[in-house]
Chain A
Amino acid sequence: MITRRQLGWTAFILAGFLLAMNFGVAYLTRNSVPRRVMRHARDSQPARVIALGNSLMAAGFEEPVFDSAAGLTAQEGAVNLSLGASSPVEQLLLLRYALAHGIRPHTLIYGFYDLQLSQPVEFSANDMIGNHAVLYYLEPIYARQFYSMSARDSLQFKALHNVPMFADRGAIWSKVEILRRSMAQQGMPQQNTNQFGKAADFSLLEPASADAFRKDCEAAQQLPLAPPVAELIRQAHEANMDIVLVEMPMRQSHRAQFYETKWWTDYMSHVRDLLQPYHVTFVDAGDWAADDSLFDDPLHLSQRGARLFSQRMGELLSVKAGQIADNPLK
C-alpha cells in the first residue's frame, strides 16, 4: 500500500514528465506546416505580391513561374502564404503576420473555393487540429472575434491555447495516422495519395449535390461577406494593395454541376456588389484547367496544372509600377 505522500510525489513526477513532453512537442513541431509558412513570410520581406488561400492555392500557385510570367525578380516577386485546410481566419492572420514582418506588397492574390467568402466560420475544439493549430499561437485572442465556438469549447480554448501539447496535438498524431495508413495499405490495392492525403477523400469536401449547392448559394446571397474575409479585404485595402480575388480552377464535373449555373452567377454578382468599395479585381479562373488530367485529386491542381495556372496569373497580372495592367481579367 502506498501513503498519500508517496501518491503526491508520484503525481509530481507525472507533472514533470508532462512538462517535459510539452517542451518535446514544442521542439518537434517547430517546423510544422503553419510555422514553415510563417517563416517563409519572415524570409520574404522584399516580396511585392502575396498569394493567399487554402490548399487549392498552396498547391496551385508556384512562385517562380508566376514571377517569371509577371516580369518580377525572384526576390521582389510573389510569396505564397497559402495554408492547406485553413479558413479565412487563418488567412487573415497570415496576412497580418506578413505585414507585421515588413512585407509591403502592392498586390494580394486571394484564391477562394465555393462559398468560402460568405459562410461564417465555426469551429469546435475538435476541429482545431492540424493546420488550424495556427489559431492557438498566432494572435489567438484577436482571432477569436472572427469565428464562433460553443461556450464549453471556448472555455477549453482559453485555458489551453498556450499549452503546446494541446495546440499542436495534430502534428504529432498525424505521424501515427500516416503509420496507420501505411499499415492499412499492406496487401491492399495502391491508393492514390498526394501531399494533402488520400486523393479520393477530397471529393467529400465538394457540395453533396447540385440542389444542395443551389440552396447554399441562395442562402449566401442574403449574407454579407464572412467577417474574416471582410476584414482581410479591408486591411489589404488599407495597406494600399490591389486586391485580386480568384475563383480557383475546378474540374469539369465541379464546374458543370456548380459553377456553370444561374445561382452561382447570381451569388458572384452579389459578392462583387459587396466588394465594390474596395475596387477588387475578380479573376474567373474556374475553367483555366479545362483538362481534368491537370488535377491531382478532385480539388487540387497537379504540378503541371499549377504551372499553367501560375503562368496565366503572372501574365494576367503583369505588374507595372505597382499597378495591375489594364487587361480585361478573364
Chain B
Amino acid sequence: MTYLFWFRQLLEYLAGEIDSPPDGFSVRLTTILFWGLWWGVLAAIVYIFSGQSSKFIYIDF
C-alpha cells in the first residue's frame, strides 16, 4: 500500500467516510477519548478561521 493511499484511507476514516481504519492505525471507533478530542480539534480549526468577511477588515495590533 503506498503512503498516499494509506493517508487517504486515514483521512476518510477520521472524516467518517469509512468505518475501518487503515492497517497500522490503532484507534477504533470505540476509543471515545480520541474522538472527543479529535472533534474538539476540528471545532478549534473552524473557530480560528471564523472572522470578518467584509471588504474592509480592521485589525488593531
Q: Which residues of A contact B (CB under 8 A)?
A: 1-2, 6, 9-14, 16-18, 21, 33, 55, 84-85, 126, 129-131, 165, 169-170, 172-178, 195-197, 201-202, 204-205
Contacts and interface: CB of A to CB of B under 8 A. Distances in A.
Contacts of A176: 48-49, 51
A18 B19 CA distance: 26
Contacts of B43: 14, 17-18, 21
Contacts of B36: 9-14, 16-17
Contacts of A84: 58, 60
Nearest to B52: A129
7 closest cross-chain pairs (CB), A and B: A13-B36, A17-B40, A173-B51, A84-B60, A204-B56, A85-B58, A10-B32
A85 B60 contact: yes
B18 interface: no
B60 A1 contact: no
A197 B59 contact: yes
Contacts of B26: none
A21 B40 contact: yes
A33 B29 CA distance: 43
A173 B54 CA distance: 14
28 contacts: A1-B19, A1-B29, A2-B29, A6-B32, A10-B32, A10-B35, A11-B36, A13-B33, A13-B36, A13-B37, A17-B39, A17-B40, A17-B43, A18-B40, A21-B44, A126-B52, A129-B52, A131-B60, A169-B47, A169-B50, A175-B48, A176-B48, A177-B59, A195-B61, A196-B61, A197-B58, A202-B56, A205-B56
Nearest to B36: A13
B57 interface: yes
B59 A178 contact: yes
Contact of B48 (A6, A173, A178, A195): A173
A84 B58 CA distance: 9
A177 B57 contact: yes
B30 interface: yes
A129 B54 CA distance: 12
Identify whether the interface residues of A are mostly helix, strand, loop, or mixed. helix
Given A85-B58, A131-B58, 7 more contacts: A13-B33, A13-B36, A17-B43, A18-B40, A174-B59, A176-B48, A196-B58
Identify whether the interface residues of B are mostly helix, strand, loop, or mixed. loop
B38 to A, nearest CB: 9
Given A21-B44, A169-B51, A172-B47, A196 B60 contact: yes
A165 B44 CA distance: 10
A194 to B, nearest CB: 9
B60 A55 contact: yes
A122 to B, nearest CB: 14
Most-contacted residue by chain B among A85, A169, A174 (CB, 10 A):
A174
Nearest to A131: B60
Contacts of A55: 58, 60
Contacts of A131: 58, 60
Contacts of A9: 32, 36
Contacts of B58: 55, 84-85, 130-131, 196-197, 201
Contacts of B53: 126
Contacts of B59: 130, 174, 177-178, 196-197
Contacts of B48: 172-173, 175-176
A2 to B, nearest CB: 5
A204 B60 contact: no
A52 to B, nearest CB: 16
B21 to A, nearest CB: 14
